[in-house]
Structure 1
Amino acid sequence: MSGTIFGLDQRRWRGSRSAFFWTLQSMAARAVDPRLAATLLERFTDEVHWLDLEAFTPSEQRELLVLLRDTPAAARRDLPAFDERDAVIAQIDRLIALVDGSEAP
C-alpha cells in the first residue's frame, strides 16, 4: 500500500507506505504550529494514506511547503539504517516536486 500527498496546482507525490508515514511523523515533529502538528500526527496514528495540502489554511500550506522542502535532508539525517533506507530516501527526495514543480535529482 502507498500514501499520496496532493500538493498545490495539481501536483502530487506517491510513496511507499513507509516513506509516506515516516514523512507525516517527521513533519509533525518539526512543525511550529501545534494544530498542524496534531493534524499530521492524527493522520499518522489513524493510518490515513493521503494528505491534501489544499485542505489546509494558507498559513498551514506555507508551513507544510517548508516542511516538505526540508524533509529530504531530515530523512538523510534521521532515518535509521535498514535494508530499504536508500530506496525510501530516493522516494522522499521526490517530495521537492511538490514544492517547486521540478524533478528531484
Structure 2
Amino acid sequence: MKTLLLASALFAGLCFAGLCLSHCRPYPCSLPCFLAFCKRLWLFAVPCNEINTKVVAQIQAFSPQYRLLYTNPLSIRANHTSLDSPEGENITFTLNPTILTAGCHVFAQSTSI
C-alpha cells in the first residue's frame, strides 16, 4: 500500500507539476508555438524495482490516455494524450539505485509533442 501511494504521488507530481514554456518558431499565421516541459528529481528510501513496478502499473491503469512504450529495470518511457486535444507528451522515468540508503533516485521528464 505504501509503495502504491508512492507511485501515485510520483505519477501525479509529474503530471500536475507546473510547466515551463519555451518559445519555438511561429506558425505560418504568426501565432507562437510553445513546447511545455517539466523535470523532477526524487529520492526515495524504496528499492528501484518496487518503484518501477508500481509506476508501470499506474501507467497501465490510466490507459488509453497513457501508453507504455518501453520499460526495463532502470527506465520507463510512455506517451500521454489528452481527450480534449490532439496534443500529447513524452514521459521518461530514469531510476538509479542509491548505495547508502538502498533507495532510489528517480528522474522524471515530460515534454510536449
Is the TM value for this pair above 0.5? Answer: no
TM-score (norm 1): 0.32
The structure whose Rg is larger is: 2
TM-score (norm 2): 0.30
Q: Which has the higher contact order (CA 8 A, sep 6+)?
A: 1
